[in-house]
């Protein structure tokens, strides 16, 4: 079962997920929201659309922009709408 963790804390895990470009996208209900904090960062992908970011928070430690999602992806990426992926030191085990 895919699992995302940082600093010894499991942030997301689910048997249901999407895989795009080598990244695991967890459904929203599989992510522990208490470990996410809204970020104002956005980036644009030519085929997926505009990504929005979260900081990952464990205790007092913050990993800026370590999670991202597409709230309104382009049609080619509709399967990941609202799903959350991780990077920047967050370990994702499949």
Closest CA to 66 of 78, 81, 75, 55: 55
Residue 94 pLDDT class (50, 70, 90 cuts): confident
pLDDT, tens digit, 9 for 90 and up, residues 27-85: 999 999 999 999 999 999 999 999 999 999 999 999 999 999 999 999 999 999 999 99
Q: How confident is the model at residue 22 (pLDDT cuts 50, 70, 90)?
A: very high
CATH number for position 42: 2.170.150.40
Phi, psi of 4, rounded to the nearest 5 degrees: -115, 130
Query: CA 77, 81, 86, 88: dihedral to nearest 10 degrees?
Result: 70
Query: Is residue 39 within 8 Å of residue 53, measured between CB atoms?
Result: yes
- For residue 93, pLDDT over 90 is answered with yes
Number of domains in the chain: 1
Token code pair at residue 69: 């999602």
> Where in the sequence is the domain holding 25, given as residue range(s)?
3-93
């Amino acid at each position: 079962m895919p699992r995302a963790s940082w600093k010894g804390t499991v942030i997301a895990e689910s048997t249901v997920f999407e895989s795009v470009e080598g990244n695991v996208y967890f459904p929203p209900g599989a992510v522990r929201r208490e470990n996410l904090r809204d970020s104002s960062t956005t980036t644009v992908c030519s085929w997926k659309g505009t990504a929005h970011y979260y900081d990952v928070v464990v205790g007092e430690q913050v990993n800026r922009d370590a999670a991202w999602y597409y709230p309104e992806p382009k049609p080619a990426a509709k399967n990941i709408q609202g799903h959350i992926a991780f990077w920047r030191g967050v370990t994702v085990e499949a």
